A and B are shown apart, each in its own frame.
Chain A
C-alpha cells in the first residue's frame, strides 16, 4: 500500500475532501427540522473540527460561523415574535404592545400576542439554517482556502490566483484603514472624510496591486502555450454553462425546488460540461504544481462518510420516515433510527482523516 493511503501517517487531508464531506453534512441538515437531529449534526461537525483542525489562522472560523448561526436564530425568533399571528397555535406566552399600522398594510401585524408555537417554529427553522452554516464553517476551519484554490484544475488557474490575491487583500485593507485612521490624529483632525480615509486606503491598495502584478510578471506568471482563440472561447462558454448547471443542481437538491430527477440531471450535465471544458482548457497551461495534495484512501473515506450521511437523510425523506419533520411545534421531538445512524457515520473523519503533523518547534524570529 502506498504511504498516502495510510490513515495514521500525519499529513494534511485534501481540502476538497473536507468541503465535500461538509457539503454532505449540510445536505443532511437541509432535510430535517427535527431539533434532535440538527443538534446531532452540529455536534458531529463540531467534534470533527475539534479533532482535526490545525492551528492556522482560518482554523478559528468555526467559532465565527457558530456565532453567525446564533445571530440567524436570534433574528428569526425576534422577527417572528414581532410579526407573530395566531396561525401556528394558540398558546399565548406574553403580549407585546401592538403598533397600529395604516390601512395599506392590512394583514400585517406588529406586536401583540406572541405564541409559543410561533417562537418554536422560528427557533427550529433558524436552527436548520444555523446548522447548515456551521457545516460550511467546519469546511472553512478544516481546509485552507488557499490550498483548495491551489487544487483547482489548470484551466481555472487564473481565476484561482485572482481569488488568492483577493483573500490577501481583504484583511490588508482593514489593517490599512485602521492605520490611516490612527494617522489622522497626527494631522490634528478628528473627523474623517472620504478624502482622508477611503482615498489613502484605495490608493494604497492600488499601489500594492500594481506592485504585485509586476512581481508576478517577473516571476513568469501568464506563460501559456499558444491555442487558437476560437477554442479558448468555446472553453470559456462550456465552463460557464457547466458551472451554472452544477449550481442549479445543487440548489435544487438542497431546497426541494425541483423534482429529484431534474435536479440530478442538471447536476450531472453541468458536471460533464465543466469537466470537459477543464480538460480542453488544460492544454493551454504549461505550469506544474509543487507538492500537490494527494487524493488517496483517507480522502475517499472522508467524502464517503459525508455522502452516506446525506444519502441516509435523503432516503429517509423520500421513504417518508417519521421524525424528520415534526408533527407540530409542541410535540416532543422523536429520535428516528435511520437518520441518527446516518448522521453518526459523518463522525468518521475524526478517525480516518490522517492526523496533522505536529508543529515544528519554531525558533523565535529575530
Chain B
C-alpha cells in the first residue's frame, strides 16, 4: 500500500538531510507504528506519505514514495486526498469549519462527493467513532478525546485507503486515549484501513501495532520489523517490555494481559518481599490553597480545593482534561484570581507579589511552553533567562544541555521539535531554581530518554528541598517520580495520598507494572529489580 524506495529528504537551507535513504513497505490493512527520538524526522516521514513533503514544506525529495500506486512526485497532497487521510499533531489546528458535522463533511465537499453519499457517510462515521451525541456541537466545546476522534473522522469520510496520524494520544488523558485507540483498532480490523501512526507513548500503542518503523535520526538507517522482535533490543521500551526483559519472558509480551499470564511465577517470587520505598522527607510548607474557588465566565473550574504542599515533595496532579489541573497551577502563580478562598505560594499572595520577586519563589512551565520564549535564537533565549533570573551567565545553557544535549545555539525556538521546545522552557524556568516548581503537562511530546532525564532532575530538586507539582496524564512518569498524587474531578479534589495508595488501585491510573503484578504493591520496573535482588 505504501512504498518508500530509497527516500532522502533535505529541507531548504539544511546541511544534513532530515531523512536518509529510507526504504520500507507497509502492506494493506496493517497498523504501522513509527517510533524514534524527539526531532528525529518522524513527522517528516509521515508527511512524505501524502506529499506534504516536499510539495508543501519545500525541500528536495530523492527516491520515490508510492501510495496505492500513485507517485507523490506527480500527485500533490490535494490530489492524494482521496487516498490518504492525514491527522496532524494538534487536531484543533487542522479544523476548517466550526461544527462536528461540517468538519466531517469538509473533505468530501472538496472531493465533489454527491450530497446523498455525503450524508450517508457522515452518519456512518458519527456512529463508527461514537460522535453522534456531539454532532452539532461547536468544535471548540469538545473534550480532547472528542476532538481527536472528530479529526480522525474528518479524515475517514472520504474513505481513504491510508490513515496517517501524528501522535494521536500524546495530549490525551488515559481514558480519552483508550477511546481513540479503540476507534483506530476498529478501523484496522473491520474496514481494512492501513494506519501509519507516530507515537511516543509506546505503553499505550505497542500492543496494537503490526509493524514498527524505527527512525533513529541522524545518519543511522531507518529499520522496520515486528513489534515483539524489535522490542527485545529497542533502546526505548514501555514498562511491560522492560519487565518482560527483566524476567526473561519469551516471547516478549506486549500487552498487560499477556504479561499477566506470564507473570504467575514472578508474582509468587515477589510475594514475600515488599517494595523498598524511601520515605519522603517533607519540610516546610511551600504552597497552600484553602477553599479555593476559581471560575471563568459561567464555568467553575475549581470548587473549594484545599491542599498544602511541602518542601521535598513531588506531587502529581491527575484527572481528566478539563478537571481543573491547569487552573490550580495558574492560581498558585497568580495568573488567575480566586473567586473565593486563598492560594498562597511561599507564604505570600502571588497576585500581590511583583513578578520579579515571585519568580524567585515559584516557577511555572505552562502547557504551551512557547509562551515563555521570546528570543530569536536558543542562545539569546538562554542569555535572556540568565538576565531575568539574575543568575550567572551560562546557567540556563548548562541546564538545557542536561535536558536535551544536542540543541543548536543558532536555532529559532519555534523551529525546535515540541519536545525540544519544552526542554528549553524547562531550562529557562529551572535556572531560577524556585523553591516551588510547577509543571503543566511536562511530558507531552517527550521521548523516553528526555523523560528519564526529566525524572532525574525532578528527583534531584526534591532531594535539595524543592517542592515540585506536575500535572500530567502520564501514569508511568507519576509512578517513577511522584511521592504524592492528587486527583481532581470536576474541580474538586477527589483523592490525595501517597502515590502507591492512590494510583495502584485505580483502573485508569494504575501503571502497567501495577496491573501486571496486582495485587502486589509494585509500581515500577526499578522496584521489581531491587526486590528481586534482595530476594535472591
Residues of A bordering B, CB below 8 Å: 56-57, 146, 150, 161, 164-165, 168, 179-180, 182-190, 195-196, 199-200, 203-204, 207-208, 211-223, 286-292, 360, 362-363, 365-366
Closest-CB distance, B206 to chain A (whole angstroms): 24
Closest residue of chain B to A201 (Cβ to Cβ) is B371
A220 contacts B107, CB within 8 Å?
Answer: yes
Contact A221 B110 (CB under 8 A): yes
Known A-B contacts A189-B388, A214-B88, A288-B118; A164 and B113 likewise in contact (beta carbons under 8 Å): no
Task: Determine the chain B residues whose CB is within 8 A of the CB of A184 once the complex forms.
Answer: 355
**Contacting residues, chain A, for B138 (C-beta < 8 A):** 56-57
Q: Contact at B97–A146, with CB atoms within 8 Å?
A: yes
* Contact B175–A183 (Cβ < 8 Å): no
Identify 12 residue pairs between A and B in the complex whose beta-carbon atoms are under 8 Å apart, listed by A's number: A56-B138, A179-B371, A182-B330, A188-B359, A188-B389, A211-B88, A214-B52, A214-B56, A219-B106, A220-B110, A290-B109, A366-B176
- Interface check B335, CB cutoff 8 A: yes
Q: Given A185-B334, A187-B428, A366 and B388 touching (CB < 8 A)?
A: no
B408 in the interface, Cβ–Cβ < 8 Å?
no
Once the chains bind, are B84 and A211 in contact (CB under 8 Å)? Answer: no
Q: Are A290 and B115 in contact (CB under 8 A)?
A: yes
Tell me whether B320 is interfacial, beta carbon within 8 Å. yes
- What 4 A-B pairs are tightest by C-beta distance, nearest first? A215-B94, A220-B81, A220-B110, A290-B105
A286: chain B residues at CB < 8 Å are 112
Q: Which of these, B90, B98, B110, B133, contacts A362 with CB under 8 Å?
A: B133
Contacts of B114 in A (CB 8 A): 288
Question: B333 in the interface, Cβ–Cβ < 8 Å?
Answer: yes
- B98 with A219: CB separation less than 8 A: no
Partner of A365, one of B82, B142, B333: B142
Q: Is B460 an interface residue (CB 8 A)?
A: no
Contacting A at CB under 8 A, from B63-112, are 76-82, 84-86, 88, 90, 93-98, 101-102, 105-112
Contact A366 B79 (CB under 8 A): no
B494 to chain A, nearest CB (A): 15
Contact A187 B388, beta carbon cutoff 8 Å: yes
Whether B143 sits at the interface, judged by CB under 8 Å, is yes
**In the complex, what residue of chain B is closest to A285 when comparing beta carbons?**
B112
Decide: A217 and B77 in contact? CB cutoff 8 A.
Answer: yes
Candidates A187, A188, A223, A366; contact of B81 at CB < 8 Å: A223
Closest B residue to A211 by CB, please name it: B93
Contact of A195 among B56, B98, B335, B374 (CB under 8 A): B374
- In the assembled complex, the Cα of A321 lies from the Cα of B176 at a distance in Å of 67
Alpha-carbon separation in the docked complex, A172 to B249 (Å): 51
**Cα of A182 to Cα of B80 in the assembled complex, Å:** 42
A293 to chain B, nearest CB (A): 12
A220 touches B82 (CB 8 A): yes
Q: Whose C-beta in chain B lies nearest to the C-beta of A209?
A: B93
A38 to chain B, nearest CB (A): 34
Between A187, A190, A363, the greatest number of chain B beta carbons within 10 A of the residue's beta carbon is seen for A187
Q: Is B146 an interface residue (CB 8 A)?
A: yes
Please give, as numbers and ranges, the residues of chain B lying within 8 Å of A214 by CB-CB distance.
47, 52, 56, 77, 88, 94
Write the nearest CB–CB distance from A199 to chain B, whole angstroms: 7
Name the residue on B nearest A204 (C-beta).
B370
Q: Which of A217, A360, A363 contacts B52 (CB 8 A)?
A: A217
B335 touches A185 (CB 8 A): yes
Chain A minimum-CB-distance residue to B84: A218
Residue of A nearest to B385 (CB): A187
B contacts with A, residue count (CB < 8 A): 82
Contacts of A221 in B (CB 8 A): 78, 96, 110
Given contacts A219-B81, A219-B154, contact A199 B107 (CB under 8 A): no
B78 in contact with A220 (CB, 8 Å): yes
Q: A187-B372, A200-B371 are in contact. Are A223 and B77 (CB under 8 A)?
A: no
A188-B356, A366-B176 in contact; A212/B93 too (CB < 8 A)? yes
B363 at interface, CB cutoff 8 A: yes
Q: How far is the CB of B235 from chain A (nearest CB, A)?
A: 31
Does B363 lie within 8 Å of A186, measured CB to CB?
Answer: yes
Those of B328-366 within 8 Å (CB) of chain A: 330, 333-335, 354-356, 358-360, 363-364, 366
The distance from the CB of B168 to the nearest CB of chain A, in whole angstroms, is 14
A213 cross-chain contacts in B, Cβ below 8 A: 56
Least CB distance from A182 to B in Å reads 4
Complex interface: chain B residues within 8 A of A199 (CB): 374
Q: Known contacts A168-B98, A180-B371: does B364 contact A186 (CB below 8 Å)?
A: yes
Q: Say yes or no: is B368 at the interface (Cβ < 8 Å to chain A).
A: yes
**B-chain residues with CB within 8 Å of residue A290 when the two chains form the complex:** 101-102, 105, 108-109, 115, 118-119, 122
Residue from B47, B95, B110 within 8 A of A223 (CB atoms): B110
In the complex, the answer to whether B333 meets A186 with C-beta atoms within 8 Å is: yes
Q: Which of A185, A207, A217 contacts B355 (CB 8 A)?
A: A185
Contacts of A215 in B (CB 8 A): 86, 88, 93-96
**Nearest CB on A from B480, distance (A):** 26
Chain B nearest Cβ from A215, distance in angstroms: 3
A361 to B320, CA, bound (A): 22
Could you list 16 further interchain pairs (A-B, Cβ under 8 angstroms) beyond the known A187-B372, A292-B115, A365-B146?
Answer: A56-B138, A57-B138, A146-B98, A165-B96, A185-B334, A185-B355, A203-B414, A211-B90, A214-B47, A214-B94, A215-B93, A215-B95, A217-B55, A219-B81, A365-B141, A365-B142
Q: Report Cα–Cα, A186/B431, bound state, in Å.
A: 12
Most chain B C-beta atoms within 10 Å of own C-beta, residue among A56, A165, A200: A200
> Across the two chains, which residue of chain A brings its CB closest to B154?
A219
Contact present for A217 and B372 (CB under 8 Å): no
**A190 and B145 in contact, given A185-B333, A212-B93, A221-B110 (Cβ under 8 angstroms):** no
**Is there an interface contact between A211 and B94, defined as CB atoms closer than 8 Å?**
yes
Chain A residues closer than 8 Å to B385, beta-carbon distance: 187
**Smallest Cβ-Cβ distance to B57: which chain A residue:** A214
Chain A proximity of B406: nearest CB distance (Å): 23
Most chain B CB within 10 A, of A168, A186, A221, A287, is at: A186
Bound CA span A188–B428, Å: 11
Instruction: Give, as a whole number of angstroms, the nearest-CB distance from A358 to chain B.
Output: 12
Complex Cα gap A157–B133 (Å)? 30
Residues from chain A with a CB closer than 8 A to the CB of B77 are 214, 217-218
Question: A218 contacts B98, CB within 8 Å?
Answer: no
User: B158: CB under 8 A from chain A?
Assistant: yes
Judged by a CB distance under 8 angstroms, whether B318 is at the interface is no
- Decide if A365 touches B143 in the complex (CB within 8 Å): yes
Is B290 on the interface with A (CB-CB < 8 A)?
A: no
Q: Is the beta-carbon distance between A288 and B79 smaller than 8 angstroms?
A: no
- What is the chain B residue whose CB lies nearest that of A196? B374
Give, as a whole number of angstroms, the nearest-CB distance from A287 to chain B. 5
What are the residues of chain A within 8 A of B175 when measuring CB–CB? 366
Q: What CA separation (Å) do A146 and B119 show in the bound complex?
A: 19
Identify A212's interface contact among B96, B109, B119, B145, CB under 8 A.
B96
Residues of B within 8 A of A164 (CB): 96-97
